[in-house]
Chains A and B, each alone.
Chain A
Amino acid sequence: MPQTLKACTPPPYPMAPSMTPVTRFIRESAEVFTFDLAPERATPFAPGQFNMLYAFGVGEIPISISGAADAPDRLTHTIRAVGPVSAALGRLKTGDQVGLRGPFGVGWPVEEAKGFDVLLIGGGIGLAPLRPAIYWLLRNRAAYGRVGVLYGARTPDDLIFVSELEEWRKTPDFQLRVAVERAGPDWTGDVGYVTPLLSKLRYDPADAIAMICGPEVMIRATALALEDAGIADSRIFVSMERNMKCAIGHCGHCQFGPLFICKDGPVHRYDRVRDLLAYREL
């Protein structure tokens, strides 16, 4: 029987990080790593929500949860080391402590998507915030129509969740296409930009919901391609990224026009942000 996503209440003291041990550390690629945290108390979350992770003495950054939403005693995060905080998090070992606040924000519309064909499009590290939604869809497969995942990365060496990609590829009634931007002769999969692969997925645009996560330039191009394919802009959802600090809509760092990415997002309905995406000052 399909699960129903329970409403996630915000943490009681949202600005106070709790000391949380790393219980597992996996290197996904040269720049990307995944670790599990064991929170003091079970921490229910919705696919697409994020936590604030504090590397002691360095700083705090928002990171989407990349694990399964039905395992609230384990919080999985997948991170690309691009700055001082993410690099410090990448040097952690099992048993080390992280400051944890969360979960925060609005996640993917997995409840709203029941009965629809669902397309998930991830670029680069953008597959990580989509993974909880993919797990959810797979575990509640009967509640959804056709499901298709597109994933784009720079090269085969930059792919994350490689063993799971292989599993998903073999999963019946689950469409997966992976495209890399360049590859050596051993790569037999797709090469090129990820968006044109939309035409290779089977779905009914009139009854489809799409979820996109990746660099903003990819989000814009993919959302337009989905609209061109006939999917209503109100059924396209995008995960946005801005400079988040407090994560509860108080500090204003992530203000995006009338919205706060941390509180009103990070997942937004495309028709509500499309015009804002055109403003370079935001």
Chain B
Amino acid sequence: MKDIADLLRHHPFAEGLDEEMLALVARCAKNVILQPGEYLHREGAAADSFYLVRHGAVALETFVPGRGAFSFLTVKSGEILGADWLIPPYRSSFDARAVELTRAISFDGKCLRGKCEADPRVGYEMMKRFIPPLVKRLQSARMQALGMYDAANA
């Protein structure tokens, strides 16, 4: 049976992480399985975790009264889910719902923040792993906000 460090080692998030640091951050992690429809977190709830999706897909959603839930991003295998654990007041901005059977590594945000505070090397390694996908998602969100498909014909 694989332990959590083994699972973590096979996720793109851990690429380039040395064994010592991998073992250190793995102490904040656990393996989770989510059934389709199961929520990882709800909007407004405490953001005390983030996830590395190993297999499956999770929809980020917000609820529009009278219209229902709207998804604006799917987080898939190999990707990171959750950034609200990084900044106070550590509150989830959106719902996150598994759209299929999903296996993920769940991190205790408070635990990992503590390790980052204690050792700036850990904080820097975490920053290097979080900033690129966050910037890419910001760029994508801007493209989505432009409504670029609205104007074109062919």
A183-240: which have CB < 8 Å to B?
Answer: 183-185, 187-193, 195-196, 200, 213-215, 217-218, 221, 239
Known: A123-B149, A196-B136, A217-B143. A183 touches B154 (CB 8 A): no
A52 at interface by CB-CB < 8 Å:
no
With A and B bound together, what is the CA distance between A28 and B121 in angstroms?
54
B89 at interface by CB-CB < 8 Å:
no
Identify B140's interface contact among A78, A154, A192, A241, CB under 8 A. A192
Identify B76's interface contact among A128, A183, A190, A241, CB under 8 A. A190
B71 engages A182 (CB within 8 Å)? yes
A: number of interface residues (CB 8 Å): 43
Q: Which residue on B lies nearest to A193, using beta carbons?
A: B140
Identify B71's interface contact among A86, A124, A184, CB under 8 A. A184
Identify B68's interface contact among A128, A179, A185, A239, CB under 8 A. A185
B149 engages A241 (CB within 8 Å)? no
Q: Which residue on A lies nearest to B148, using beta carbons?
A: A215
Identify A124's interface contact among B70, B97, B152, CB under 8 A. B152
With A and B bound together, what is the CA distance between A20 and B59 in angstroms?
47
With A and B bound together, what is the CA distance between A218 and B150 in angstroms?
12
B74 at interface by CB-CB < 8 Å:
yes
A183 engages B71 (CB within 8 Å)? yes
Residues of A within 8 A of B57 (CB): 188, 190
Q: Tally of A-B residue pairs with Cβ under 8 A? A: 106
Residue-by-residue, is B113-146 near A (CB-CB < 8 Å gives 1, otherwise 0)? 0000000000000000000000010011101101
Residues of B within 8 A of A83 (CB): 153
Known: A153-B149, A241-B154. A193 touches B68 (CB 8 A): no
Known: A213-B154, A217-B148, A241-B152. A182 touches B72 (CB 8 A): yes
Known: A181-B72, A182-B70, A182-B72. A193 touches B154 (CB 8 A): no
A188 engages B100 (CB within 8 Å)? yes
Nearest Cβ on chain A to B19's Cβ, whole angstroms: 26
Residues of A within 8 A of B149 (CB): 123-125, 152-154, 158, 181, 214-215, 218
B48-62: which have CB < 8 Å to A?
Answer: 57, 59-61
B99 at interface by CB-CB < 8 Å:
yes
Q: Which residue on B lies nearest to A195, using beta carbons?
A: B140
A64 at interface by CB-CB < 8 Å:
yes
A183 engages B150 (CB within 8 Å)? no
Residues of B within 8 A of A218 (CB): 143, 148-149
A123 engages B76 (CB within 8 Å)? no
Nearest Cβ on chain B to A118's Cβ, whole angstroms: 19
Residue-by-residue, is A138-168 near B (CB-CB < 8 Å gives 1, otherwise 0)? 0000000000000011100010000000000
With A and B bound together, what is the CA distance between A83 and B151 in angstroms?
10
Nearest Cβ on chain B to A150's Cβ, whole angstroms: 13
Known: A64-B154, A191-B59, A193-B143. A184 touches B68 (CB 8 A): yes
Nearest Cβ on chain A to B70's Cβ, whole angstroms: 5
Residues of A within 8 A of B21 (CB): none
With A and B bound together, what is the CA distance between A123 and B73 in angstroms?
17
Residues of A within 8 A of B70 (CB): 182-184
A102 at interface by CB-CB < 8 Å:
no
- Apart from A184-B70, A192-B74, A215-B151, what 13 extra A-B contacts exist at CB < 8 Å? A80-B154, A123-B152, A129-B154, A181-B72, A182-B71, A183-B71, A185-B68, A185-B69, A191-B74, A192-B73, A195-B140, A196-B140, A215-B149
B residues sitting closer than 8 Å to A (CB atoms) are: 57, 59-61, 68-74, 76, 97, 99-100, 136, 139-141, 143-144, 146-154
A residues sitting closer than 8 Å to B (CB atoms) are: 61, 63-64, 78-80, 82-83, 86, 123-126, 128-129, 152-154, 158, 179, 181-185, 187-193, 195-196, 200, 213-215, 217-218, 221, 239, 241
9 closest pairs, A vs B, by CB?
Answer: A124-B149, A193-B140, A215-B152, A215-B148, A191-B71, A191-B74, A192-B73, A125-B154, A181-B144
